[in-house]
Amino acid sequence: MLLQRTLTALVLAPLVILIIMLSSNAVFAVIVSLAFLAAGWEWAQLSGLRSQAWCIVLLLAAACVFAWLWSARATALAPLLLGAGVAWWLLACLWLRHFAFGAAPTRENLALKLLAGALVILPAWMALVCIHARVPHGPWWTLLALVIVWASDIGAYFSGRTFGRRKLAPQISPGKTWAGAYGAMVAGVLVATAGAWLLDVRGGRLVALALLAMLTVAVSIVGDLIESLMKRHAQVKDSGSIFPGHGGLLDRLDSVFAALPVFAAGLLLLDL
């Protein structure tokens, strides 16, 4: 499984990097929209929406919202949506504490999970587009945001396998450990600090960026756990099977969805 996951990552990572570095902001926004719509389809399935017709309706509505957000990306709506995304992930911590909430396959729980999906995907989309458009070095900051999450995933995997004893959330995701969380934090902060240094961030801002990276990694772990909770409620192992060894798009983007609004809001506050 590790070999399969590594080979898949080696194929996907260069493609993602090329898209980030070579695309205009408009083209980048379209590509991100397509990927996020696919992940939204998987979220709808995990939420319990079985009707493909209704899934298509929701995706068309989401596409219209993306188009509207693109037209409003330079207005006050952008920081407001980022703030809503950060607030959602703080609220999601309460859901993890009361993990049985929403488990029953009722219409009310379906509606709540679809609403949660909007709060997961829309702020992340705005965050990614806004980071990519930053002047200067927008694509580099975008790449750094993703590399922080990728590095934290790798750090969590190896530190968890080597030192993991105490479970992080055994009733939600039995494989995750506190050692894995610490490894994720160390890897993410080291990558963020090195990347920010290369982007000519110095002094107090560099320290602030390291603290932002810690918060970003912590929230990315929450995002991973929330998707694990959704899969546990749906009684499935993966959100999909599009990537060998990695599952579905949502399995690859769960941490990213959580990390992006926090990282984007932090860059905005730090004026980086």
Residue ranges making up the domain that contains 65: 2-270
Q: How many domains does the chain have?
A: 1
Judge whether 248 and 237 are in contact, CB under 8 Å: no
Indicate whether 242 pLDDT > 80. Answer: no
Q: Which of 160, 157, 176 is nearest to 168 (CA)?
A: 176
CB atoms near residue 255 (< 10 Å)? 28
Using a 10 angstrom Cβ sphere, with 0-12 exposed, 13-18 middle and 19 or more buried, the burial of residue 10 is exposed
The CA dihedral of 249, 251, 253, 255, to the nearest 10 degrees, is 180
Q: What is the residue-averaged pLDDT of the chain?
A: 92
Q: How sure is the predictor about 12, in pLDDT bands with cuts at 50, 70 and 90?
A: confident
**Mean pLDDT across 170-181:** 92
Q: How sure is the predictor about 246, in pLDDT bands with cuts at 50, 70 and 90?
A: low
Using a 10 angstrom Cβ sphere, with 0-12 exposed, 13-18 middle and 19 or more buried, the burial of residue 74 is exposed
**Mean pLDDT across 239-257:** 78
What pLDDT shows up at residue 2? Answer: 62
**Mean pLDDT across 116-128:** 97
Global pTM reads: 0.93
| % of the chain exceeding 90 in pLDDT | 81
Residues 92, 86: Cα–Cα separation, whole Å? 10
What pLDDT shows up at residue 244? Answer: 57
**Mean pLDDT across 169-188:** 94
| % of the chain exceeding 70 in pLDDT | 96
Token couple for 128:
């990614």
Q: How sure is the predictor about 187, in pLDDT bands with cuts at 50, 70 and 90?
A: very high
Q: Which of 46, 67, 261 is nearest to 149 (CA)?
A: 261
**Strand, helix or coil at 103?**
coil
Token couple for 183:
């490894």
**Mean pLDDT across 193-215:** 95
pLDDT in tens, 23-81: 999 999 999 999 999 999 999 999 999 899 999 999 999 999 999 999 999 999 999 99
Q: How sure is the predictor about 238, in pLDDT bands with cuts at 50, 70 and 90?
A: confident
